[in-house]
Amino acid sequence: TLLNINCKTIFTPTDQTIIAGFLSIAMSLQAIKYDGKQLLIIDQLQLPFLEEYVNIQSAKDGWDAIKEMRVRGAPAIAIVAILSLAIELRAFLADKNKSAGDVGSFVIEKLHYLVTSRPTAVNLGDAAHKFEQMVNKQIAKEGSTGESVASAYFQEAEKMLANDLSDNQSIGAHGAKWILEKTGKTTVNVLTHCNTGSLATSGYGTALGVIRSLHSGNALGRAYCTETRPYNQGARLTAFELVHDKIPATLITDSMASALMNDPKANVSAIVVGADRVAANGDTANKIGTYGLSVLAKHHGVKFLVAAPRTTIDRATKTGADITIEERAPSEVTVIKGPLHRPTAETLQMETVKVAAPGIDVWNPAFDVTPAALIDGVITEKGVVEKGSDGFFHFDSLFDEEA
Ligand code: MRU
């Protein structure tokens, strides 16, 4: 399907050549394409109707893409922020005679700017903090130059992209194994929420990675995905990925989840979701609606799992009460967006339709917090963490090697 990309509207002929090069190596859905000189991100606002890539040329482009949700999902926004700055840093270096201090101040100022794009996902702030520390260390090195500081930044950025992919594959494998062991089944049906797949990460995904892993091990009966109002990440993005990978899957509206859990034919064995920030005790901020699903899981005696890389675990935030929840524009609730006609690359025109009574007040929190008490396990790239006898999660041992 990547071959259907429409380059017409936003790309110059040079861009198109670069995309053709990327396409020849991209066999699976790849939301972020970075080759050190170019950063292309799939425009998630156009999905699933059109696979169009946006060329990100600066930290400002990265900030806008994150704010407008052209890219979204906790790991993906951190990666795009860091890579957008890498692109701008290359241009900054082209102007010669930059000292280590010049490069350091440039990078740190842009990192501080990038973290202001969205507040809830910890991955962005965490990455910015780590890159700032790394840059400061490089500057302090004897004989450091603008080139040496920048080159350390580029290397670290590439490592971040590659590590996220391999971490997701490990999360998938650990999660699939845990679910099969704990349920004692050889085939399971799983419900997921929002989008946690290739579009939300550097590839493969977290909760969707677990579903991918179950599927590739012939252990998935069916995946159920919620529509995920108001932004419809489930209907637009998760459904798109599931169809793309030919994974047996069914879409439901958010309000159907309880009926689904009560339906013996659906036979859901586990609910697996992603996370934007996991507090030190395990309380987890994730897409609005996640908390409700955890209550449902408890009522139905079904496993409720959070799948997230260690970069999503925020040990500095004690509990969920300390997590800032982003509130977004009322128009996301009062208006529905989609194409009026069956689109082709030439005819796609997104239309907005008002669905709410004019004048009504709207509350639109993008995330909610699921208490640790309702979570059975946190699936990380290092394994599945379960609660201690005190009823809370303890993540410190996951970070032992970093100490
Ligand atoms: O507002 P979004 O679309 O960025 O929210 C995304 C989610 O809540 C995801 O579940 C979370 O970021 C995990 S993505 C691997």
pLDDT digit string, tens, across residues 303-330: 999 999 999 999 999 999 999 999 999 9
Q: Would the CA dihedral through 202, 206, 208, 210 be positive or negative?
A: positive
Tell me, in angstroms, the distance from the centre of ligand 1 to residue 79's CA: 14
pLDDT band at residue 133 under the 50/70/90 scheme: very high
Mean pLDDT of 113-129: 97
Element spanning 380, H or E: strand 377-380
pLDDT band at residue 19 under the 50/70/90 scheme: very low
By annotation, the residues acting in catalysis are: 276
Mean pLDDT of 265-281: 98
* Higher per-residue pLDDT: 331 or 337: 331
Mean pLDDT of 240-260: 97
Mean pLDDT of 344-361: 85
User: How far, in Å, CA of 228 to CA of 129, rounded?
Assistant: 31
What was the pLDDT predicted at 5?
Answer: 28
ipTM: 0.99
* Poorest-pLDDT segment among 9-13, 70-74, 90-94, 308-312: 9-13
Mean pLDDT of 29-39: 93
Prediction pTM value = 0.91
pLDDT at 40 over 50: yes
Side-chain-side CA neighbours of 311 within 13 Å: the count stands at 26
Mean pLDDT of 277-306: 98
User: Is residue 37 classed exposed, middle or buried when 0-12, 13-18 and 19+ CB atoms within 10 A define those classes?
Assistant: exposed
Report the nearest atom of ligand 1 relative to the CA of 273.
10
Mean pLDDT of 317-345: 89
User: How far, in Å, CA of 194 to CA of 200, rounded?
Assistant: 10
pLDDT band at residue 28 under the 50/70/90 scheme: low
* Higher per-residue pLDDT: 23 or 72: 72
pLDDT at 145 over 80: yes
Report the range out of 10-24, 41-55, 196-210 with the highest average pLDDT. Answer: 196-210
Which residue's C-alpha comes closest to atom 8 of ligand 1? 287
Residues 223-232 pLDDT 10s? 999 999 999 9
User: How far, in Å, CA of 71 to CA of 73, rounded?
Assistant: 7
pLDDT at 1 over 50: no
Tell me, in angstroms, the distance from the centre of ligand 1 to residue 169's CA: 18
pLDDT at 6 over 60: no
Pocket test for ligand 1, best of 68, 168, 195, 369 (most atoms within 8 A of CB): 195
Q: Please state, rounded to an integer, the average pLDDT across all residues of the chain.
A: 91
* Higher per-residue pLDDT: 349 or 281: 281
Residues 93-116 pLDDT 10s? 998 889 999 999 999 999 999 999
What percentage of the chain has pLDDT greater than the value 90?
84
pLDDT at 24 over 60: no
Pocket test for ligand 1, best of 276, 290, 364, 381 (most atoms within 8 A of CB): 276
Which residue's C-alpha comes closest to atom 15 of ligand 1? 196
Residues 146-203 pLDDT 10s? 999 999 999 999 999 999 999 999 999 999 999 999 999 999 999 999 999 999 999 9
What was the pLDDT predicted at 375?
Answer: 98
Closest CA to 261 of 212, 226, 214: 226
What was the pLDDT predicted at 14?
Answer: 36
